[in-house]
Amino acid sequence: MTGALNVIEAGPEHAEQVVDVIHRSFGARQILDPPSTAMDETVESVAEVLGSAGGLLVERRGQPMGALLFDESRQGLLGLRRVSVDPELQARGVASAMVGVAEDTAEERGKDGIWLHVREELPETVQFWTRRSYLPVGREGPLIAFAKTLWLSREVPTPDLMKDLARRVERLLHRGDLLVLSGDLGAGKTTFTQGLGDAMGVRGPITSPTFVLAREHPSLVDGPSLVHVDAYRLGSPDEIDDIDLDAVAQNAVTVVEWGDGMAEQLNDSWLWVRIEVRGPRPIDPLGTPHEGDLDDVQGEDIDPRVVTIKPRGVRWAGVPLRSTVLADSSD
């Protein structure tokens, strides 16, 4: 079969096609105990869901190939139900296409993430969702609850707005959290960290720790301290162990600049923050880029930054990242 997949937003008028795909998909599965209730779906029950929460239908040349139903019952999250692919049309990218559109739909609806249930007796299905960065966050009988927090990217044109972005991120942070910062020299990683420190109420000043590798900034407000690490001069991930962060990391928020491939071993969950410069990077009078550049330049010398924040690990599953960071972004 040739031709592109067409993923459409399904409405009540598509209920007959959707329920047919659901029945064919779930009917071909192994016998489960207790059995799935998907076979109880009717055109009427599916039409009701499609008329309220909505869903997706995948077609190729007019032939229905896959479908799913949305669930709006959890605040800030978009649920996926009855994820179905015609058993005779497997391994054609149908499920992956639906997931991609579902994630776009969640973003368009202002959701922070996605959740769904997967039967533990279906290891291939579990593996499918795991490969797409969905994480198990709970269990309800034979059902494994999976969740994924959506990442975000936004333009940050000035140092003040970079610090404001960091202050918004700080609202989500707890003791023991890890942030891995990446970006070119002079992109603004230290500026971002300064915004975090301001919001956390730690002792300053916060400057690039390049020559000391790590600095601990104790809290002035009975909160967690901020541990600021620069991994730029480390030759391998093993060298980060020499800094001996274990003694303080559990009771601190740890920020590691140049931490890609280095700092992830410190925690099983982290926030990955990538700062990209759109335009020529500012250079100091000696011709050497340095991390303070975003603070030092003014006016037309400032090039917009694009900051991308991606959650990694169970700690960030279900966290309202987008709604917190992007709330009142015009202020």
Q: Which amino acid would we find at residue 223?
A: G
**The domain 6-149: what is its CATH number?**
3.40.630.30
Kindly list the domain boundaries of the chain, sorted by start residue.
6-149, 152-326
Residue 115 CA to residue 79 CA, distance in Å, equals 5
- What burial letters (b/e) apply to 143-177, b meaning 16+ CB within 10 Å? ebbbbbbbbbeeebeebebbbbbbbbbbeebeeeb
Residue 82 CA to residue 41 CA, distance in Å, equals 10
What is the structure's pLDDT at 313?
Answer: 94
Q: Which two tokens stand for residue 59?
A: 């077609």
What is the structure's pLDDT at 92?
Answer: 78
Helix (H) or strand (E) holding 307: strand 305-312
What is the structure's pLDDT at 287?
Answer: 41
What is the structure's pLDDT at 266?
Answer: 82
Q: Which amino acid would we find at residue 189?
A: K
The residues of the chain scoring below 70 in pLDDT are 1-3, 209-212, 234-244, 247, 279-302, 328-331
- Of 40, 69, 37, the C-alpha closest to 53 is 69
Is residue 44 helix, strand or coil? helix
**The domain 152-326: what is its CATH number?**
3.40.50.300
Provide the H-helix boundaries in the chain: 15-27, 43-52, 94-108, 123-131, 159-170, 189-200, 246-249, 293-296, 321-326
278 by Cβ neighbours in 10 Å (0-12 / 13-18 / 19+) ranks as exposed
- List phi, psi (to 5°) of 18: -65, -45
To which residue do tokens 């140092």 refer? 159
What is the structure's pLDDT at 284?
Answer: 47
Number of helices (H), then strands (E), belonging to the chain: the values are: 9, 14
Q: Across the strands, what pairs with 240?
A: none
